[in-house]
Amino acid sequence: MTGVERTQVAIIGAGPAGLLLAHLLAADGIDAVVLEARSRAYVEQRVRAGVCEHPTVELLRSLGLADRLDREGLPHEGLSLRFDRADHRIDLHALTGKTITVYGQQELVKDLIAARLATGAGIEFEAADVALHDLATDSPRVTWTDVDGGRHELRCDAVAGCDGFHGVSRPSIPSDAITLHNHDYPFAWLGVLAKTPPSSHELIYARHARGFALHSMRSPEVTRLYLQVPPDETLDGWSDARIWDELATRLEVDGPFTLREGPVLEKGISPMRGFVAEPMRYGRLFLAGDAAHIVPPTGAKGMNLAMADVYRLAPALVALLRQGRAELADGYSERCLRRVWRAEHFSYFMTTMLHRAPDVDPFLDQLQLSQLRYVTGSTAAATGLAENYVGLPLD
């Protein structure tokens, strides 16, 4: 054992949840150690989400963490639902007074890491064999092996499990103390990152008889595109040429639109899953972000939910550790889960409205079209979509 260390909060995982929590706690003078299984280079290159809700952007600004996001992020005032070979614009700004900002998750992670390191606080990258102990007591412990093979033990007052869906935190909770809700959608997304300017300055969610397609972007030079594929699909049959052909077919529209092709930088297939762990707490372990819940990406909610969780967790930990007041910590899970279930439903709504289900029949097909016409034709229905999409208020 190299050494026994002490901190107030052990944060497991340096994704958006863990990193933002570290900043929120530091702003309140609470010490934290962040343990991350991967290298800095890996987490800074991992391409994932790209849509920041209005409350997420406001939160980052309030912490002085949005300078580059404000310079380089792409504010969007609307999005398009494309069906029946036509675009139907949802004017987010006119309907809600708010916008969303397209800014790659990996860029945000870079900013949050740089800001933490600039304060002199560290992040333990490449921490292996992370294990949580004594979680049901007021003095939990975390052990791990550092990059040089040294063993460490960290004693703390609370553990924040921000280590994503495949992390170690949630499985550390005894199975009789947690309920897991799971919903597997019958499709997956084949995602492509391409070095080509976006073909439209707004996101296009396309419903097509061959399946869903999404046109998105990460910057003025990089386009992000997705295709609905079967859940067991592999990349084997998907040459770049086939991907571009299929995108062109599903994004076809009457009117001026040309899909800009370019070199494919990255491609992958992600399953579509809804998952909620309840409660998001066990003793002194608090789960946040993907460690506790997963949404299908159609609603662009996963990263935003992760940030909303830690926005609630930070004051709960401050009250618990500084004043010995437990009310916020005791209510943490319930308050988060209200937002989580809203996001689960919104993601389900967007997913089922736009994807082609394997068991679709002409009746269901017409229901889907009717829903799309209603949501784009009624100001009341469009407002419901828009206010969920830009993000419901954090408080």
Q: Are 223 and 199 in contact (CB under 8 A)?
A: yes
Q: Is 205 a catalytic residue?
A: yes
Pick from 172, 200, 223, 304 the residue near ligand FAD by CB under 6 A.
304
Which one of the spans 24-32, 36-44, 315-323, 335-343 is the region binding ligand FAD (CB under 6 A)?
36-44
Distance CA 337, CA 335 (A): 6
Q: Is 141 in the site for ligand FAD (CB under 6 A)?
A: no
Q: Is 164 in the site for ligand FAD (CB under 6 A)?
A: yes
Q: Is 296 a catalytic residue?
A: no
Q: Is 38 in the site for ligand FAD (CB under 6 A)?
A: yes
Q: Are 37 and 291 in contact (CB under 8 A)?
A: no
Phi, psi values for residue 366, rounded to 5° = -70, -35
Distance CA 387, CA 55 (A): 11
CB of 174 to ligand FAD, least distance (A): 18
Q: Is 198 in the site for ligand FAD (CB under 6 A)?
A: no
CB of 230 to ligand FAD, least distance (A): 17
Closer CB to ligand FAD, 84 or 184, in the complex: 184
CB of 350 to ligand FAD, least distance (A): 11
List the catalytic residue out of 98, 208, 301, 355: 301
Would residue 374 be called left, alpha or beta, if left means φ above 0 and alpha means ψ between -120 and 50 degrees? alpha
Pick from 21, 43, 159, 354 the residue near ligand FAD by CB under 6 A.
43
Q: Is 348 a catalytic residue?
A: no
User: Going residue by residue from 256 to 295, which x/- string records binding to ligand FAD, judged by CB under 6 A?
Assistant: --------------x------------------xx-----
Which one of the spans 159-167, 180-188, 328-336, 356-364 is the region binding ligand FAD (CB under 6 A)?
159-167
Closest CA to 314 of 32, 13, 54: 32
Residues facing residue 35 across a β-bridge: 12, 124
Size of the residue set binding ligand FAD (CB under 6 A): 35
Q: Is 301 a catalytic residue?
A: yes
Enumerate residues 6+ apart whose C-beta is below 8 A from 59: 20, 307, 311, 394
Q: Is 375 in the site for ligand FAD (CB under 6 A)?
A: no
- Chain residues 166-195 in contact with ligand FAD, contact rule CB under 6 A: 167-168, 191
CB of 357 to ligand FAD, least distance (A): 21
Q: Is 303 in the site for ligand FAD (CB under 6 A)?
A: yes
CA dihedral (375, 381, 384, 387) positive or negative:
positive
The residue to which tokens 């992600």 are assigned = 270
Closest CA to 371 of 348, 340, 342: 348
CB of 359 to ligand FAD, least distance (A): 25
Distance CA 320, CA 34 (A): 19
- Chain residues 1-20 in contact with ligand FAD, contact rule CB under 6 A: 12-18
Closer CB to ligand FAD, 8 or 172, in the complex: 172
Pick from 9, 30, 36, 351 the residue near ligand FAD by CB under 6 A.
36
Classify residue 153 as exposed, middle or buried by CB count within 10 Å of its CB (0-12, 13-18, 19+).
middle
Which one of the spans 45-53, 75-83, 273-281, 328-336 is the region binding ligand FAD (CB under 6 A)?
45-53
Pick from 10, 21, 30, 37 the residue near ligand FAD by CB under 6 A.
37
CB of 345 to ligand FAD, least distance (A): 15
Q: Is 161 in the site for ligand FAD (CB under 6 A)?
A: no
Enumerate residues 6+ apart whose C-beta is below 8 A from 176: none
Beta-strand ranges (E) seen in the chain are: 3-6, 9-12, 32-35, 51-52, 74-76, 79-83, 86-90, 100-102, 128-133, 141-145, 151-155, 158-161, 179-194, 204-206, 213-219, 222-229, 264-278, 281-282, 285-287, 293-294
Distance CA 54, CA 60 (A): 10
Alpha-carbon distances, residue 40 vs 20, 100, 127, 128, 383 (angstroms): 16, 27, 11, 14, 40
Q: Which residues are catalytic?
A: 76, 205, 297, 301, 389
> Which residues contribute to the site for ligand FAD (CB under 6 A)?
12-18, 35-38, 43, 48-51, 105, 127, 130, 162-164, 167-168, 191, 270, 289-290, 297, 300-304, 306
